[in-house]
Amino acid sequence: MDENARRLTRSEARDPVPWTTAGGPDLRYGDVTREQHRAWLTDPRLAERFRQLEPDAEPVYERMIRTFGLVWECPDDGMVNVVGYRCADCGSSREAALLAARCRESPQP
C-alpha cells in the first residue's frame, strides 16, 4: 500500500462520510434534485464517470464530489453539505451563506 492509499484509508476511517444532509432540505431545490445528488454521492460508478470527465486526474472521492457539484462548503463554518440541503452547522441555505460571505469580503464604500 503506498502512502497516498494509506492516508486515504486513515481519513476514511476517521470520517467515513465527508458530507451531511443533517441541515434539512433547502426548499430552493426540488426533491428530485436532492435525491439525485444523494444517489450520485453513493454511486459505485462515480469514479467511472469522473474518469470520463477528467481522464488524467486521480479519482479521489473528495475531489470527485466537488467536481460534480454534489456538495457545498459553508463559508462560515466549513461544514460540507449536500447540494439541496441547508448547512448542518448554522442552518443557512447555500445561497444565503454564499451571499453573506461575498458581502463580508467586499469592502463597503
Residues that bind Zn ion (CB under 5 A): 74, 76-77, 87, 89-90
Cβ-based nearer residue to Zn ion, 34 or 49: 34
What number of other Cβ atoms are within 10 A of residue 98's Cβ? 15
Cβ-based nearer residue to Zn ion, 60 or 90: 90
CA angle 18, 66, 49 (to 5 degrees): 105
- Rounded to a whole number of angstroms, the minimum distance from the CB of residue 58 to Zn ion is 29
How many angstroms separate the most distant Cα atoms in the chain?
Answer: 55
Cβ-based nearer residue to Zn ion, 8 or 90: 90
Distance CA 73, CA 63 (A): 13
- Rounded to a whole number of angstroms, the minimum distance from the CB of residue 23 to Zn ion is 8
- Rounded to a whole number of angstroms, the minimum distance from the CB of residue 105 to Zn ion is 16
Cβ-based nearer residue to Zn ion, 44 or 78: 78
Are 82 and 73 spatial neighbours (Cβ–Cβ below 8 Å)?
no
Where helices occur in 1-109 by DSSP H, the ranges are 3-14, 31-41, 46-53, 61-67, 94-105
- Rounded to a whole number of angstroms, the minimum distance from the CB of residue 93 to Zn ion is 10
